[in-house]
Structure 1
Amino acid sequence: MMKRTILLIALIVCVAATYAQKGKVISAQSYKDTQKLQEALDAIKETIDPNNPKAEKTIPWPKTWEVRGEIYQAVYQSKDENVKKQVENPLSTALESYKKALELDDKDRNNPTIKIKLTLLTSDFTDQAVKAFNDNDYNTALESFKRILEIEEMPLMAEEGEASIDTVIIYNAGLAAYNAEKFDEAIKYYKDAAELGYNGARTYELIASSYISKTDTLGALETLQEGFEKYPENSSIMVQLINIYLNSNKVDDAMKYLKLAIDQDPTNATFYFAQGSLFDKLERIEDAVVSYKKAIELKDDYYDAYYNLGTIYYNLGVKQIDVANSVPASEPDKYDAEIAKADIEFKKAIPYMERASELKPEDSFSLEALKTLYYRLKMMEKYEGVNKRLEEINQ
């Protein structure tokens, strides 16, 4: 009888010690509820300290980690800067705590309450991400969006057996990664968003921009081609394709997409200008003139189109002078005839260069061209005027 009494007393002492230590967890929760966060932090740290012999009872207890999550979440929400500065990444610590609580709760008793807390934690991470993004702290914003996605992918957060997919968060994670210059991650998240159809053709453009930032032209082209196949009516994707082909000197490919772009949007002056530039590059001068004039017809203040047209006629005049200079000295009449042809081209250049100069009065390129043209054609009054303007610009 004596032995059984001793055994009973030992059992009572053991249970009492267990409840005493678990009482620390309850105290920590109480401190949190009364906004005594410093006391709450101190108490909860004691319950998970592996160097504390008493913590062996609370470390494997799911409630310990759930309360720890609540406390660190409260630290993030607190306005007490003295407490907040003691804790780095409180929301991440809260998430890891809730995950630990779920791991230890083999009977899933606390799943309903932790699910609510994880939902609230998602809101806190969203708040943190938005603030970080607005402060240009893109790394923190990215990590916050990644944590939100991690929560949404947890089996506990699934609805009717399917995980919730927040395409906005995926897209924003890509945006944050891009701004943080983590282009591989940006591509990953943008591609996920594209597969889900988020933001249409624009997402493919952003994927391509990420590849270009990595100097991966092939990746950008493949992405834009995929985007064009999916959104054939989107002119912006075509423009990017055209620009890449132009920069890569793939003129035939650029011309193909440019023709498609014009067919889709025949009132876009930029497309005609680009087409004129391509024809110019291919020395298809007559075609270039037609395209540039169409651009001007659609956009009367298109400086580049006026300047390029003036340049075409100017260069034709220069080439004709070379023809004249090749005439033997014994044929002065033929020489004069060839020079007259050159002057015809120079005269054609003048109205386009004058209009270009009107549109950009401080532009020295058009003024220098006009200075030469006026001198060549003996338009001395205009020559003096342009010369004076150039002197004022260069002062």
Structure 2
Amino acid sequence: MKKVFLTALAALLVAVPAVKAQKVNKTAILSKIEKSDADIADAKKGAKASTWLNRGKIMYEAAMEPTKSLFVNMDPTMLKLAVGEPASTGKATANEIEYETWVYPYFTAYIKDNKIVTWKQTKDVYSEAVPKAIEAYNKAYELDPKTAEKAKEGLKQISDFCSQLGNTGLDSGDYAAAADAYAQAFEAQSGPAYGSPDPQLLYYAGYLRTSDGANNPASFVEGAEYLNKAIDLGYADEEGNIYYYLFHCYYGQKAADQAFVLKAKDALLTGIEKFPKNQRILDGLMQLYTSEQGVGDPADLVTMIDNALAENPQNVDLWFGRGRVFYALKNYDESIASFAKVVELQPDMFEGNYYLGVFYTIKGDALNKEMNEKQYSSQAAYDADLKDVNAVYLAAVPWFEKAHELKPEDVDTLEFLKQICFRLRDEPGIMDKYNTYNALFKQAKGE
């Protein structure tokens, strides 16, 4: 008897999800919203903070209802138990990753390796739920500052919900929606009851609008607004990329007005002054200075950095940036001189030693190319040039060796050492180095 009962129960558990479909209490929620509309329209009730606090809760419920059962890394079996069978299944690619998709009336779940990775909400219960929730909590605080704690708690719920929407939008490749969600998260935190909003949310919104600009040029306008507001609030990411994204937002608007080219330049110049080591900003400046007439001479970048170095000659980042600029100008001797200063100031910086080796190698490659294009009239002339080229390659070896000492697992360093030592294998002691670094390279590559 017991066995039969358990079998019947198991069959029931299997059967329930098969017939269950996603249920969203839209009618009940809309009924609550309708009553709330009437309450705030009533002179007596609308003057009470409690009426607005209750409205904020109702709007929050409406906002989160479609996806309230979802969470990242959720097992799909749990999704079926919580929401029911999908209306359909399929495949989709987001951010160059292919997912299995489960389509429900209010959202599409993206599944990878049998886990819910992200989702895209496709329908709302009430489209104005988030802004009206923010309005309601702000109004409650305005009517009665003593509600600050409750209002802040409600605003935090809205901000957290919007941040989650931003995260899922980023993962699903819906950059515009993700940007708007982060901007709304910031707006929720901007209420007087909340305190200080986090400008990083605006940075996320601006970055995502920048990414969306390639397909939707109007996003560049919004991206610039978000990024400028974040900067005005004193925000800058650790590497200074905010100025690089601002450059793209301005440059993306140049078709509408050429004045945006100069705005793009100013964004980069401000960024490079604060973050002279940022390669993206340097690349942006070189792009502008070499492709846009009237922007300036690329050599101006060197003057700017050298002026800064005159005031602060021990600034490693400035020397680093100087070396990068000269590399872009194909002045390899000055690149080498700049990075020699970097390692003088910070002998144990991996990047300094690595790039010093790289620039010696690049100079050697350039000289080698010149040799291959020359017509030699004597073996002696050829041998003299070859000796000079090999001397440059040889100068790279100790810097790569130092870089390897500092970061033994770096495969690129080992590959440079292997290749250079093979070229110089006839030099005294270099063949032994080749054998050593070739073996380490194969080991690092798992060969």
* Shorter-normalised TM range: 0.5 to 0.7
- State yes or no: 1:339 paired with 2:367: no
Q: Identify the structure with the greater helix proportion.
A: 1
Aligned mates of 2:272, 2:428 — CA distance in 1: 50
Between stretches 134-143 and 258-267, larger displacement belongs to 134-143
- The match for 2:42 is 61
| Change over 3 Å in CA distance of 1:306–1:227 after alignment to 2 | closer
Amino acid at match of 2:224: I
Aligned to 1:256: 303
Following TM superposition, by how much is the alpha carbon of 1:175 offset from its aligned partner in structure 2, in angstroms? Answer: 3.1
Higher normalized strand content (fraction of residues): 2
Q: CA deviation at 1:262?
A: 2.9
Shift of 1:98: 8.7
The 5-angstrom pairing of residues 146-295 of structure 1 reads 146=187, 149=190, 168-169=196-197, 171=199, 174-178=202-206, 181=209, 184-192=221-229, 194=231, 197-199=232-234, 206=242, 208-212=244-248, 216=252, 219=260, 222=263, 225=266, 234-236=274-276, 241-248=281-288, 250=290, 251-295=298-342
Cα distance in 2 between the residues matched to 1:282 and 1:43: 66
Query: Aligned pair in 2 of structure 1 residues 205, 77: CA closer, same or farther (>3 Å)?
Result: closer
Q: How does 1:357-376 map to 2 (within 5 A)?
A: 357=401, 359-360=403-404, 362=411, 363-375=414-426
Report if aligned partners of 1:306, 1:352 keep a CA contact under 8 Å in 2: yes
- Cα distance change, pair 173–386 in 1 and its aligned pair in 2 (3 A): closer
What secondary structure sits across from 2:313 in the alignment? coil
Is 2:367 the counterpart of 1:316?
yes
Residue 169 of structure 1 aligns to a residue in which SS? coil
C-alpha separation in 1, matches of 2:289 and 2:275: 21
Counterpart position of 2:117: none
1:321–1:339 CA contact under 8 A, matched in 2: no
Identity of aligned residues (%): 13
Q: Aligned AA for 2:252?
A: D
Question: Per the alignment, in what secondary structure is the counterpart of residue 424 of structure 2?
Answer: helix
- Tell me the CA shift for residue 308 of structure 1: 1.3
Partner of 2:94: none
- 2:357 counterpart letter in structure 1: Y
Compute the displacement of 1:47 (Å): 8.5
Matches of 1:346 and 1:198, distance apart in 2: 53
1:338 is displaced (CA, Å) by 4.5
Decide whether the 8 Å contact of 2:220 with 2:249 is kept in 1. yes
* Secondary structure of 1:374 counterpart: coil
Hey, what's the Cα distance between the residues in 1 that align with 2:330 and 2:40?
79
CA apart distance, 1:356: 1.0
Q: Deviations over 1:49-84 (max 9, x none)?
A: 7xxxxxxxx895323445653433355799xx99x9
Q: Report how far residue 248 of structure 1 moved.
A: 4.0
Report the CA distance shift for 1:95/1:357 in structure 2 as closer, same or farther (over 3 A).
Answer: closer
Q: Deviations over 1:230-268 (max 9, x none)?
A: x99734598765332124454224323332343344234
Distance 2:141 2:430 in 1: 90
- The TM-score with structure 2 as length reference comes to 0.52
Change (3 A) 1:256 1:217: farther
Cα distance 1:121–1:145, how it changes in 2: closer, same or farther (>3 A)? farther
Give the Å deviation of 1:228.
Answer: 5.8
Counterpart Cα distance in 2 of 1:267 and 1:288: 17
Q: Which runs of 5+ in 2 are unaligned?
A: 1-27, 69-123, 169-177, 210-218, 255-259, 291-297
Q: Which residue pairs with 2:55 in the alignment?
A: 72
Shift of 1:209: 1.7
CA distance in 2, matches of 1:319, 1:359: 29
User: Relative contact order: is structure 1 or structure 2 higher (C-alpha 8 Å, sep ≥ 6)?
Assistant: 2
Residues 113 and 119 of structure 1, relative CA distance in 2, 3 Å threshold: farther
Amino acid at match of 2:155: F
The equivalent of 1:12 in structure 2 is none
Q: Whole-Å Cα distance in 2 between the matches of residues 111 and 282 of structure 1? A: 58
After superposition, the Cα gap between the structure-2 partners of 1:382 and 1:192, relative to the gap in structure 1 and judged at 3 Å, is: closer
> CA offset at residue 142 of structure 1?
2.6
Give the Cα separation in 1 of the matches to 2:311 and 2:344. Answer: 18
SS in 1 for 2:337: helix
Corresponding residue for 1:327?
377
**In the alignment, structure 1 residue 133 sits paired with structure 2 residue 163:** yes
Q: CA deviation at 1:129?
A: 0.9
Partner AA of 1:252 in structure 2: A
Counterpart for residue 124 of structure 1? 154
- Is the 1:374–1:380 Cα contact (8 Å) retained in structure 2? yes
Task: Indicate if the aligned counterparts of 1:241 and 1:254 stay in contact, CA closer than 8 A.
Answer: no
Gaps of 5+ in 1: 1-38, 50-57, 103-109, 158-164, 329-334
1:370, distance to aligned residue in structure 2 (A):
1.9
C-alpha distance after superposition, 1:146-178 (max 9, x if no partner): 3565x66xxxx9xxxxxxx97x43835523523
Structure 1 residues 233 and 383, CA gap change in structure 2 (3 angstroms): closer
- 1:226 shift after superposition: 6.2
Q: Give the greater-gyration-radius structure (CA).
A: 1
- Contact 1:125–1:148 (CA<8 Å) still a contact in 2? yes
Give the structure 1 partner of residue 393 of structure 2: 349
Aligned residues: 316
